[in-house]
A and B are shown apart, each in its own frame.
Chain A
Amino acid sequence: MEHTAQMVPLNYYLFLSTFLFCIGVMGVLFRRNAIIILMCIELMLNSVNLLLVAFSSYNGNSDGQVFVFFIMVVAAAEVAVGLALLISIYRNIGSTDIDVLNKLKW
């Protein structure tokens, strides 16, 4: 296996997934549209998935890949329910702006 000498160092994957996660956090804090916020949550979940796969691959242990599979399942369920809620909110209020939804705010 001569190609293993060219494998990407694990630190690079750490930096990449940290960067993606921080972009997701910034998007959640930055925007007011609930669709964009859901997409940023997806981005954060994916950065963590990437890190899990990187660690499991470098460790030679496939537990991490199974966990990534379950994270994908949970993310898909979350998006389905979240978008259904968004459509229902849009029908009642007429916008997806999260600053309008302040009835539960103290």
Chain B
Amino acid sequence: MYSVLSLIVCFFTIAGHYVLLNAQFLAITHIIVYAGAIMVLFLFVVMLLNLNAETEMHKSGKLQIAATIAAGMLFVTLLASFRSTTFGTFSFPPPSDMGLVQHVGQRLFTDYLLPFEISSILFLSAMIGAVVLSKKERH
């Protein structure tokens, strides 16, 4: 329960980063989709399944240590690979109207029209699948 709320806070901070990076349309979409839809869905499922901390099962200590070490090693490996990477120079200042809804919408409806329509079909099929899966079976 608290982890869901903490994840909502984390998503809001990521939306703040999007605003800082001149991606205003994505920031608004991020807040609407994640904080408004996905995390509400998570909260409903947590409440619906009536899970609480007493019945929560944890992995054994050995597996927990192994998971921590594995994730830490992944972090160290990625950082080491970033240290040996050199980035190209970027054009400053970045165009400030790039993340506005007009620009992104023009890209979305001209160059990426086919993926956009396919993603709408994907959404529809996911919606139908969710309804069918969570419906009570009749015996």
Contact = CB atoms under 8 A, between A and B. Distances in A.
B33 A72 contact: yes
Interface string B86-97: 010011111110
A61 to B, nearest CB: 8
A50 B29 CA distance: 13
B104 A30 contact: no
A73 interface: yes
A101 interface: no
Contact of A22 (B7, B41, B75, B112): B75
Interface in A1-46: 1, 4, 7-8, 10-11, 13-16, 18-23, 25-26, 29-33, 35-36, 38-39, 42-43, 46
A59 to B, nearest CB: 6
B71 A50 contact: no
Contacts of B58: 31-32
Contacts of B82: 11, 14-15, 18
A53 B94 CA distance: 12
14 contacts: A22-B75, A23-B71, A25-B70, A36-B3, A42-B34, A62-B103, A62-B104, A62-B107, A63-B107, A65-B98, A65-B107, A75-B38, A83-B134, A91-B136
A21 B39 CA distance: 19
With most chain B CB atoms within 10 A of its CB, the pick from A10, A31, A35, A83 is A83
Given A26-B71, A76-B33, A60 B42 contact: no
